[in-house]
Amino acid sequence: MSEKFYSKKIWMALGASRVHHASCNSQAKNQRVELTPWDLDLLPAGPIQRGLVFPKPKHSQEEETDENTLIDHLRTSLSRTLDYFPLLAGRLAATDHDDDTVSFFIDCNKAGALFIHAEADGVTISDIVKPVYVPSIVHSFFPLNGMKNYEGISKALLGVQVTELVDGIFVGCTMNHSVADGTFFWCFINSWSEISREDAIPPPLKERIFHFSKQSIARLKAKANLEVSTNNISSLQAILSHFWRSIIRNKNVHPFEEMSYYMITGAGQRLQRLPKQYFGNALKRGSIIMKAKEVQEQGVGQIAREMNRIISKQTEEEFIKDLESWIASPRLPKRDWLMRNIMATSSSPRFNVYGNDFGWGRPIAARSGSVNHFDGMLTLLCGAEEGSIEVEACLSPETLDAMANDHEFMETVWGDRPGFKNSRLPK
């Protein structure tokens, strides 16, 4: 491809800003870091410039990550990374001495790193990596070009430029060589990528309400109890077992991947010493962990029976032991319990949702906000019709679309069949 292709018209800076560390640690401000002779020797030289080419992130085959979301994410994660590398948000400073000499040091003054968002219109990954000779436009993907290290007195010690390509992202980084060597440079990049990955952009999710009528629930409960020759399985356990099997059946997971189902049990009816006037959380979490293949091979009854077993274990004694254990060793749940292949249930169909009348009639529907939603969260509500249950499923669009075509699952869902009418809807 000729150099003529890479005209300046195709490159456009969409925005430049200063990025500061996320925390407000006053101790880092105005801290002085002396330069070594090795550092000083590089003052007349140029900075380190390295860049990485990535494909555009995709959460599904059909939907790409929104560019603005990606840029904001990288800017935020860069700010968090500067908490651990505060000198990169500073500037060089010079002191004149009486003997006509000058000394340089790093002033951690929180002046900020340079962050540029740019776009190379019409340039693809292949245009960059396939030519025998590196195209000159690549040089424009780096900030602070032409700078000498001693100019760090007035210019950023760290500059990052994120350039959007047609099918990719180029992350170019420029770091003052009098401040850092190659080891430090890649330590910074490694740390930034790790922090960015830990706070990854969440995949696109959708919510759908599934209605289960009183009659459908009764049939599911009867089926579950019949399969395992018992009458201990509840209506809710039968629904959740049925739901979990359908989700795994319609999710793209390996048969031997571990699947977890977290169930929240309330202490209200189990902890007798808890006063009725108690206002606050009183919950305990239990879980089922099985291979995806096992969930599919077992019927609704076997999965529901396992759910029943876990819930039955949540006795008053267990609640007290759990509280005493937490007090002895306080701990918070790890983020990974909300990661891939996790299902969890919140709320309860026992709550009085549709009985609320503020003076102009009862509600016709109930919905949830976006907080605490993740791929696999099921929110339970009583239905608008007596004895019915609504399940708000937060899942990937692909899983929800596949479930809509799952006859075994959808034949139990009320409201997605011809002739369904919500009697509360305005006429």
Residue 222 CA to its chain's centroid (Å): 39
Least confident range from 79-83, 161-165, 361-365, 422-426: namely: 422-426
Predicted confidence at residue 276, as pLDDT, reads 81
Predicted confidence at residue 10, as pLDDT, reads 41
* 245: helix, strand or coil: helix
* 3: helix, strand or coil: helix
Residue 149 DSSP label: G
Query: What number of helices (H) and strands (E) belong to the chain?
Result: 11, 14
Rounded CA-CA distance 60/402 in Å is: 14
| C-beta separation of 377 from 260 below 8 A | no
Q: Over 80: is that where the pLDDT of 199 sits?
A: no
Rounded CA-CA distance 108/102 in Å is: 19
Mean pLDDT over residues 17-28, rounded?
60
User: 11 or 413: which carries more pLDDT confidence?
Assistant: 413
The catalytic residue among 177, 211, 242, 373 is: 177
Question: Strand 206-212 and strand 389-395: pairing?
Answer: antiparallel
pLDDT in tens, 113-166: 999 999 999 999 999 999 999 999 999 999 999 999 999 999 999 999 999 999
Report the predicted TM-score, pTM, of the whole model to 2 decimal places.
Answer: 0.64
Q: Over 90: is that where the pLDDT of 372 sits?
A: no
* 223: helix, strand or coil: helix
Q: Is 152 exposed, middle or buried (0-12, 13-18, 19+ CB in 10 A)?
A: buried
What interhelical angle do 214-227 and 300-312 show, nearest 10? 90
Most confident segment among 10-24, 30-44, 134-148: 134-148
**Catalytic site includes residue 96:** no
How much of the chain is helix, strand and coil, in % rounded to 5? 35, 25, 40
Rounded CA-CA distance 355/361 in Å is: 9
Predicted confidence at residue 15, as pLDDT, reads 63
**Catalytic site includes residue 242:** no
Distances (CA, A) of 316 to 13, 66, 266, 269, 308: 62, 48, 11, 9, 16
How sure is the predictor about 184, in pLDDT bands with cuts at 50, 70 and 90?
very high
With CA atoms as reference, report the closest residue to 367 among 392, 349, 389, 388: 392
How sure is the predictor about 373, in pLDDT bands with cuts at 50, 70 and 90?
confident
How sure is the predictor about 334, in pLDDT bands with cuts at 50, 70 and 90?
low
How sure is the predictor about 1, in pLDDT bands with cuts at 50, 70 and 90?
very low
Q: What is the CA radius of gyration of the chain?
A: 29
The catalytic residue among 98, 100, 336, 357 is: 357
Rounded CA-CA distance 373/361 in Å is: 30
Mean pLDDT over residues 162-186, rounded?
95
Least confident range from 269-273, 318-322, 397-401: namely: 269-273
Mean pLDDT over residues 62-75, rounded?
72
Mean pLDDT of the chain: 86
CB count within 10 Å of CB 406 equals: 15
Residue 19 CA to its chain's centroid (Å): 22
> Counting every residue, how long is the chain?
427
Q: Over 60: is that where the pLDDT of 102 sits?
A: yes
Mean pLDDT over residues 422-426, rounded?
52
Predicted confidence at residue 100, as pLDDT, reads 85
Predicted confidence at residue 69, as pLDDT, reads 82
Mean pLDDT over residues 62-85, rounded?
81
